Amino acid sequence: MNLLARSLAVSLISFASLSFTAQAQTAQQGNPNFKPQVGQAGKDVIWVPTPDSLVNRMLRMAQTTEKDFVVDLGSGDGKINIAAARDFKARGLGIEYNPDMVAVSRRMAREAGVDKMVEFRQGDIFKTEFFDATVVTMYLLPQLNLRLRPILLDRMKPGTRLVAHAFTMGDWEPDETSVVENRYGYLWIVPANASGNWRVNVAERAVGNFTMDLNQTYQRVSGNARLNADIEANLIDPELRGDQFKFALRAVDGRVLTYTGTVAGNRITGTVTGNGLNSTFTAERSGAPRQIHSGTDANSRAMNN
């Protein structure tokens, strides 16, 4: 091979190598000029954007503020994170499997002037950690919600707000439902695990200490208290919202007192009020808490295997 031919061959190889590298980088980083099409196929779902009116309602259901970190699972074109940053001043992260959609999201965030507040990351929602979120948004299929359910319940901090478009989480009933332009939005608040046996100590000695056994399914709590050797009574209207636990109980002397406390691991601290009383209480759990959810159903177990 003469010098000219050798030089031409080297140039062609170099051009091909550069072209391949550029194509690989484009595939990895995505194309910001990509034009999303409603109904286009994704990893596990097709892309259908959530209407702006429902996006706003979902973020309001979650009581989003500038103190929040909003994570959108399957963020598509990024509109939820962009709206959270633009309208509620909330920081955010969008996790999206399609790199072209990630590139479009970044471009739209720049155009909206919120690119310093939100990040869009290419990734699999089941392989990406997002446990520092205070608000989680999603528009996924029911079987994906069921796969996420134990992760959200077991790994997210109590009080984390979850909002979803269209699809629920099986037998985990939402705390709130809204309908906007015939589209459904659902809110769940991740509950603390308050189940198990507790020893309650009240600062006001006249009230008396007692034990209580709590059963819990998701955010629904029921239970009984043992006031002394002779008296057992059910908790009246127990309510758990995040890590805030409230119930009433009729004391030995007949007064109905209200207990309001914060669940933190194996301890509850709070106040006791009613009938002129204003005191404090602490509760310590003996033994391990019980499982508060049913796990995943048969379909989601099959998907995980």
Q: Is 212 helix (H, G, I), strand (E, B) or coil?
A: strand
Say if residues 269 and 280 touch (Cβ distance below 8 Å). Answer: yes
CATH number corresponding to 52-189 = 3.40.50.150
- For the cut 70, the answer to whether the pLDDT of residue 63 exceeds it is yes
Q: What's the gap between Cα 224 and its chain centre?
A: 30
CA–CA separation, 105 and 116 (whole Å): 13
CA–CA separation, 39 and 83 (whole Å): 22
- For the cut 60, the answer to whether the pLDDT of residue 213 exceeds it is yes
What average pLDDT does the segment 235-258 reach? 97
Among 72-76, 205-209, 248-252, 295-299, whose mean pLDDT is lowest?
295-299
Residues 6+ apart with CB under 8 A from 74: 42, 45, 95, 96, 97, 125, 138, 139, 140
pLDDT band at residue 2 under the 50/70/90 scheme: low
- For the cut 70, the answer to whether the pLDDT of residue 20 exceeds it is no
pLDDT band at residue 76 under the 50/70/90 scheme: very high
Burial 265-285 (b: 16+ CB within 10 A, else e): eeebebebebeebeeebebeb
- For the cut 50, the answer to whether the pLDDT of residue 16 exceeds it is no
Say if residues 66 and 89 touch (Cβ distance below 8 Å). Answer: yes
Q: Which amino acid is at 94?
A: G
Specify the DSSP element, H or E, that contains 302: helix 298-304
Q: Which two structure tokens, joined as six digits, stand for 57?
A: 């309602």
- CATH 3.40.50.2300: does it fit domain 196-286? no
Quote the pLDDT of residue 280.
Answer: 98
Residues of the chain with CATH 3.40.50.150: 52-189
Quote the pLDDT of residue 1.
Answer: 53
Nearest to 178 by CA among 46, 39, 51, 38: 51
CA–CA separation, 267 and 168 (whole Å): 31
Q: Is 104 helix (H, G, I), strand (E, B) or coil?
A: helix
Residues of the chain with CATH 2.40.128.20: 196-286
Among 32-36, 112-116, 136-140, 242-246, whose mean pLDDT is lowest?
32-36
